[in-house]
Chain A
Amino acid sequence: MKCQKCNKNEANTHVKRVINGEFEEYHLCSECAKEMGYSNVFSDFTNSFADDFNSLFGSFFENALPARTQATRCETCGTSYNDIARTGMMGCADCYEVFADRILPTIRRIHGNTTHMGKNSPSYKKVEVEEKPETKPKDELSELKEQLDTAIKNQEFEKAAVLRDKIKEKENENE
């Protein structure tokens, strides 16, 4: 589809507006969109998505990517990377993790960085604080117990005695 303003370039920005009491839709090229004050974040974004996608797709055949980036669909919502590249929209919160390797460069291009600096969701913090103290000491303890088992098997009794004391100490701490 050609840009409705200049009728020359390919349209890649879709704008909905209300003009004189009616809904109007425009399909614009990035240049005209920029001129009209629609920052071309969106068009740049879809373009860069397509670029990223194409370059990754290219390298996919050339040097087979690691398994992690091969996920073709998000299990939670069924969105494929192709869908994201086409619409510029993620399918669900989990898509950000599933497609992290591929979208982070684009995110960096849009915002100039990839690290949140603002408000933290209050409920998100709560979960984190509750979970940490429960899980960590437990893991350490089971690790010590495993080491003790191995030490006994290998008949390393001196080491085993040290580990046994450590385990007792930990268990007392937890109580």
Chain B
Amino acid sequence: MAGVAVSTTINGDNVEYLCQPDETLLDVLRDRLGLTGSKEGCGTGDCGACSIILDDRLVCSCLVLGAEAEGRRVETIEGMAHGDTLHPLQQKFLEHAALQCGICTPGFLIAAKDLLAKNPDPTEEEIRFGLAGNLCRCTGYDKIVRAVQDAASAMKGA
């Protein structure tokens, strides 16, 4: 099968790659570009571990084709911190111990970043529904919700 040439922007960098027409963006990120921070938990869009932001929209990268990234902006977990300064959400996840095994964490952070970009002052219920597309099996979500609440406060104060 002939490859598709794609030119896109990932975490602010111009990136070009060849991919198969049936290859998911998640597989491109992980297997072709070495960006393994996005995880595959299901491959069917049910767990959110592969969450990325595509042109300001939160998507499961396992449900997007690599070819569809042409000319668009992709944000992944690898682009969330600025140098060695963590994003407030990353910092609050650490402080609140909002992760145990950590496999869902990149997806949660991306989803929470998207949530706070659209709703900087969410209620607990809005956080819970905003993150309902991401599965965590370890924490029971309590500390995740608290970390997002705390990060929202910190980001408002900043």
B is bound to A? no
Q: Which chain A residues have a beta carbon within 8 Å of chain B's beta carbons?
A: none
B: which residues have CB within 8 A of A? none
